[in-house]
């Protein structure tokens, strides 16, 4: 199993007891907190007592997870939510102080903090997950049967009674609070209770008597599922709390819901095979998940003006539903995922201005839907993925102006779609967006759109006219594949806004035209006829796999002006013998020239080049730029060093090496799979050790001299022989999974470092043995 975050015990590595030394308490500084837009995503500090900065509005999931140093944390009033597992398994944590202002605490937020004994949850907290304090000393030692925190949130029941009366000060029953409790036979909830969250009484199999006060306005999904009370209730309309319809047991074709109904709960009518017409009450505000799912005879629905939410799958597979309308002055803001999916007789939808969000698959396979109207002043800003996919009768669509991006494939397989007007605020045409829209003839691409993702117009066979597109800077794979625009294009080189997207010629010697500024992914990929390519100075970027697998390509001429060669751009060009990379080059992607088995001569740029690879690359997957080339294998000298001092590769066989003083950085995969080297000394001139630099090598000992600053992700990944790394205080930046062992062989690793250094705390946090200098 792969390790996903720093702070979790490293996968497949067995460490002996580490040296535990006293940790001084000192003032925390903001460098220790990674904060983006008010969201605290990571903590890099090493203090016993931590005060969250006042500019933090949210603590994200896992932010402090597995921290073994923190003993006390103070959370200011600026923080509104604490994410799932934010402080989970902080083994030294004893005290949590929350200031008034916090509103939400997520699942497992402080779970498995076994030493946590002091917690104050302020009254501002309205929502707490049942498992927020799971397996803590605080919860274990809580004396009352009912564990109530914050603003009357009941998160746990520790008693064993069969007949329960929920305390009067409880306003919210958290999710799963009584789940699977088979002892309970009756529950009385008192006035003042407002919310019963998801699965609160789920599978309380003997619960037969429930009293819900009129103050309850919200009941979550599956709150009473699999209870005797719900299963055996025979009321035609089971209405509880403040107008919540939990269940309908009648068999009428036509129904008028009682006027007091405000919420139709999850699955209230699901699977009803007789219901044809229903009149919804004027007070209705919410229709829950699956509320009318599979009501196969339901024909018509009119939503009242106060309705705000149409829940996910609420009308899913209502195969007879042909008419849906909204009352005047509608308040509906959300149409959730799958809401009308597979409503195969639904022909038209006129959405009110109030609708802000349309979820994933909301109208999937509404095969009769031919028209979607948005109100003139629509507030719609979000449309999810595959929203209108397979709406084969949909003819035209105008994207609301407020929509800046959409999910993938929203019109995928809309085979009747002829005209589309895109929003001038959109930035991206998402992947598969119009794939298989075989009737689409023309499209105007606003200047605001910068990116067209893969397969966006693939198989739009009649698409002949593309206008606009003056802002496009990147076009991904197969965007225009099998379109009339592509097939009817005259000339060998097809471009959009200067981006070469297709080569239609049959020549063997290619000269890229001067109007081309970028070569899109895989444009020449797999072309076995090309023998030579000349790339002019106006071309700034060659994208991934652009010439991959061009097995006859023997000559490539790069001009000054080229800045970026993408990942695997020339992979497996097996006849390519020599290249000279221009000094203008700024980025060179992983595996760019891998498996070029004839490549003997390479001239590297003199200025600094960023040798790129993915931050989460697999150490077992060698993506060295020149992997498996004779230039590396037969290089004159063990060290291949670029003009800026980057060690691109090491080809020697010495057991003990000291890198030359002119090396300033080590490129990704530079020592990967080298099983000869056992000991490496890295001089202080080297500032960065790249991603997977020593991955899966035979190195046993590494000494980093003072001056080295950064260890990138997986720098020593899968180096199972590694026993000792001497790291100086100058190293302050650490990537992810630096020493992770993904193949589950045992490793006993020791980090040699100075006391109280960043490295020292890194080792402690990651449960690595420490030896002090």
Cα separation of 623 and 569, whole Å?
12
pLDDT-above-90 percentage for the chain: 88
Cα separation of 50 and 73, whole Å?
5
Give the pLDDT confidence of 554-587 residue by residue, as tens digits. Answer: 999 999 999 999 999 999 999 999 999 999 999 9
The label of the residue with tokens 């020493």 reads: 739
- Non-local CB neighbours of 368 within 8 Å, separated by 6+ positions: 322, 344, 345, 346, 347, 393
CATH superfamily of 491-612: Ribonuclease Inhibitor (3.80.10.10)
The answer to whether the 37-141 and 149-232 domains have the same CATH topology is yes
CATH superfamily of 149-232: Ribonuclease Inhibitor (3.80.10.10)
Q: What is the pLDDT of residue 623?
A: 78
User: Residue 4 pLDDT more than 50?
Assistant: no
Q: What is the mean pLDDT of residues 496-525?
A: 98
Whole-model pTM: value is 0.88
Tell me if residue 761 falls in helix, strand or coil: helix
- Non-local CB neighbours of 101 within 8 Å, separated by 6+ positions: 76, 77, 78, 79, 80, 122, 124
Give the pLDDT confidence of 380-431 residue by residue, as tens digits. Answer: 999 999 999 999 999 999 999 999 989 999 999 999 999 999 999 999 999 9
- Non-local CB neighbours of 348 within 8 Å, separated by 6+ positions: 369, 370, 371, 372, 373
In this structure, what is the dihedral angle of CA atoms 677, 657, 724, 752, given to the nearest 10 degrees?
A: -160
Q: What is the pLDDT of residue 427?
A: 97
Mean pLDDT of the residues in the chain? 93
* Residue 118 C-beta-side C-alpha neighbours within 13 Å: 11
User: Residue 20 pLDDT more than 60?
Assistant: no
In terms of Cα–Cα distance, which of 719, 641, 715, 640 is closest to 677? 719
User: Residue 349 pLDDT more than 70?
Assistant: yes
Cα separation of 350 and 329, whole Å?
13
Tokens representing 36 are 């983006």
Q: What is the mean pLDDT of residues 726-746?
A: 79
Cα-based angle 394, 396, 397 (whole degrees, multiple of 5): 105
Q: What is the mean pLDDT of residues 63-76?
A: 96
User: Residue 497 pLDDT more than 70?
Assistant: yes
Give the pLDDT confidence of 291-302 residue by residue, as tens digits. Answer: 999 999 999 999
pLDDT band at 741 (very low <50, low <70, confident <90, very high): low
Cα-based angle 453, 455, 459 (whole degrees, multiple of 5): 150
User: Residue 744 pLDDT more than 50?
Assistant: no
In this structure, what is the dihedral angle of CA atoms 228, 232, 235, 239, given to the nearest 10 degrees?
A: 30
Between residues 767 and 358, the one the model is more confident about: 358
Domain-wise residue ranges, the chain: 1-22+635-773, 37-141, 149-232, 236-348, 381-488, 491-612
Residues 555/570, Cβ–Cβ less than 8 Å: no
CATH superfamily of 37-141: Ribonuclease Inhibitor (3.80.10.10)
User: In CATH, what number does 236-348 get?
Assistant: 3.80.10
Q: What is the pLDDT of residue 340?
A: 99
Count of beta carbons in the 10 Å neighbourhood of residue 359: 23
Dmax over Cα atoms in the chain, in whole Å?
A: 88
Cα separation of 516 and 530, whole Å?
19
Count of beta carbons in the 10 Å neighbourhood of residue 211: 13
Residues 714/590, Cβ–Cβ less than 8 Å: no
What is the DSSP pairing of strand 39-43 with strand 710-711?
A: unpaired
DSSP 89-132: T-TT--EEEE-BTB-EE-TTTTTT-TT--EEE--TT--EE-TTT
Tell me if residue 315 falls in helix, strand or coil: coil
DSSP structural state of residue 31: G
* Dihedral sign of CA atoms 454, 456, 461, 467 in order: negative
Phi, then psi, of 105 in degrees rounded to 5: -130, 120
Q: What is the pLDDT of residue 742?
A: 52
* Dihedral sign of CA atoms 151, 129, 315, 232 in order: negative
Residues 612/636, Cβ–Cβ less than 8 Å: no
Per residue, what are the HEC states of 231-285?
HCCCCCEEEECCCEEEEECCCCCEEECCCCCCEECCCCCCCCCCCCEEECCCCCC
User: Residue 11 pLDDT more than 50?
Assistant: no
Cα separation of 672 and 690, whole Å?
11
Give the pLDDT confidence of 610-641 residue by residue, as tens digits. Answer: 987 755 555 556 678 999 999 999 998 999 99
User: Residue 525 pLDDT more than 70?
Assistant: yes
Tokens representing 68 are 């073994």
User: Residue 14 pLDDT more than 90?
Assistant: no
Cα-based angle 207, 208, 214 (whole degrees, multiple of 5): 95
User: Residue 311 pLDDT more than 50?
Assistant: yes
Choose the CATH number for 381-488 among 3.40.50.300, 3.80.10.10, 3.40.50.1980, 3.30.470.20.
3.80.10.10
* Alpha helix segments (H runs only) across 622-676: 630-633
Q: What is the pLDDT of residue 612?
A: 78
User: Residue 517 pLDDT more than 60?
Assistant: yes
pLDDT band at 253 (very low <50, low <70, confident <90, very high): very high
CA 21 to chain centre: 38
Residues 674/693, Cβ–Cβ less than 8 Å: no
Q: What is the pLDDT of residue 622?
A: 63
Give the pLDDT confidence of 96-148 residue by residue, as tens digits. Answer: 999 999 999 999 999 999 999 999 999 999 999 999 999 999 999 999 999 99
Count of beta carbons in the 10 Å neighbourhood of residue 4: 12
Does 1-22+635-773 carry CATH code 2.40.160.10?
A: no
Q: What is the pLDDT of residue 618?
A: 57
User: Residue 551 pLDDT more than 50?
Assistant: yes
- Non-local CB neighbours of 722 within 8 Å, separated by 6+ positions: 694, 699, 700, 701, 702, 716, 739, 747, 749
Per residue, what are the HEC states of 194-237?
CEECCCCCCCCCCCCEEECCCCCCEECCCCCCCCHHHHCCCCCE
User: Residue 22 pLDDT more than 70?
Assistant: no
Give the pLDDT confidence of 173-208 residue by residue, as tens digits. Answer: 999 999 999 999 999 999 999 999 999 999 999 999
């Amino acid at each position: 199993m792969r390790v996903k975050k720093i702070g979790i015990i490293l996968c497949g590595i067995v460490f002996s007891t580490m040296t535990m030394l006293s940790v001084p308490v000192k003032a925390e500084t903001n460098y220790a907190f990674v904060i983006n837009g008010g969201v605290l995503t990571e903590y890099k500090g090493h203090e016993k007592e931590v005060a969250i900065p006042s500019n933090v509005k949210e603590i994200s999931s896992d932010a402090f997870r597995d921290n073994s140093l923190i003993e006390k944390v103070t959370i200011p009033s600026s923080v509104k939510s604490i994410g799932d597992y934010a402080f989970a398994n902080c083994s030294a944590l004893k005290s949590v102080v929350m200031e008034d202002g916090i509103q939400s605490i997520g699942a497992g937020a402080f779970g498995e903090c076994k030493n946590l004994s002091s917690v104050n949850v302020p009254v501002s907290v309205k929502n707490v997950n049942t498992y927020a304090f799971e397996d803590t000393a605080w919860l274990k030692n809580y004396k009352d049967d009912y564990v109530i925190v914050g603003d009357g949130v009941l998160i746990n029941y520790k008693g064993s009674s069969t007949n329960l009366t929920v305390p009067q000060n409880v306003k919210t029953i958290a999710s799963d609070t009584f789940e699977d409790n088979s002892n309970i036979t009756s529950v009385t909830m008192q006035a003042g209770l407002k919310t019963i969250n998801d699965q609160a009484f789920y599978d309380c199999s003997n619960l037969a008597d429930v009293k819900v006060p009129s103050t309850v306005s919200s009941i979550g999904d599956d709150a009473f599922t699999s209870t005797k009370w719900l299963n055996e209730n025979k009321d035609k309309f089971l209405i509880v709390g403040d107008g919540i319809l939990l269940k309908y047991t009648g068999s009428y074709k036509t129904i008028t819901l009682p006027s007091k109904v405000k919420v139709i709960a999850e699955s209230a009518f699901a699977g009803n095979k007789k219901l044809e017409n229903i009149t919804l009450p004027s007070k209705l505000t919410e229709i829950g998940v699956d509320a009318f799912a599979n009501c196969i005879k339901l024909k018509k629905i009119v939503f009242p003006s106060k309705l705000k939410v149409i829940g996910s799958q609420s009308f899913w597979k209502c195969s007879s539903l042909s008419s849906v309308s909204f009352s005047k002055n509608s308040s509906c803001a959300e149409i959730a995922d799958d809401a009308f999916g597979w409503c195969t007789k639904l022909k038209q939808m006129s959405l009110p201005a109030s609708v802000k969000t349309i979820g994933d698959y909301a109208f999937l396979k509404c095969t009769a839907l031919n028209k979607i109207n948005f109100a003139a002043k629509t507030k719609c800003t979000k449309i999810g993925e595959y929203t209108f996919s397979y709406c084969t009768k949909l003819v035209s669509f105008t994207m609301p102006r407020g929509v800046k991006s959409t999910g993938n494939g929203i019109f995928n397989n809309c085979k009747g779609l002829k005209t589309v007007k895109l929003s001038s605020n959109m930035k991206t045409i998402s992947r598969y967006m119009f794939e298989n829209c075989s009737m689409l003839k023309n499209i105007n691409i606003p200047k605001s759109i910068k990116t067209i993702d893969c397969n966006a117009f693939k198989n739009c066979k009649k698409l002949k006219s593309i206008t606009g597109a003056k802002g496009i800077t990147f076009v991904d794979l197969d965007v225009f594949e099998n379109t009339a625009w592509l097939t009817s294009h005259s000339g060998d080189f097809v471009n959009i806004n200067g981006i070469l997207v297709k080569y239609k010629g049959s020549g063997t010697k290619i000269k890229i035209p001067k109007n081309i500024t970028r070569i899109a992914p895989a444009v020449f990929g797999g072309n076995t006829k090309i023998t030579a390519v000349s790339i002019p100075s106006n071309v700034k970027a060659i994208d991934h796999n652009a010439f991959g697998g061009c097995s006859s390509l023997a000559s490539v001429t790069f001009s000054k002006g080229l800045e970026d060669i993408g990942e695997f751009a020339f992979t497996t060009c097996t006849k390519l013998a020599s290249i000279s990379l221009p000094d203008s080059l700024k980025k060179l992607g992983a595996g760019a020239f891998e498996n070029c088995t004839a490549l003997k001569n390479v001239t590297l740029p003199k200025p600094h080049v960023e040798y790129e690879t993915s931050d989460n690359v697999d150490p077992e997957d060698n993506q060295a730029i020149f992997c498996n080339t004779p230039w590396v294998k037969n290089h004159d000298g063990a060290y291949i060093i670029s003009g800026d001092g980057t060690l691109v590769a090491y080809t020697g066989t010495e057991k003990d090496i000291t890198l030359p003083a002119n090396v300033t950085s080590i490129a990704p995969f530079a020592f990967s799979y080298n099983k000869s080297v056992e000991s490496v000394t890295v001089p202080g001139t080297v500032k960065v050790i790249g991603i997977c630099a020593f991955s899966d090598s035979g190195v046993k000992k590494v000494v980093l001299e003072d001056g080295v600053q950064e260890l990138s992700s997986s720098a020593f990944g899968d180096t199972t022989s590694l026993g000792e790394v001497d790291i100086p205080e100058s190293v302050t930046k650490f990537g992810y999974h630096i020493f992770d062992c993904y193949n589950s062989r045992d490793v006993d690793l020791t980090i040699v470092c100075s006391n109280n250094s960043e490295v020292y705390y890194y080792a402690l946090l990651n449960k690595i043995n420490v030896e002090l200098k």
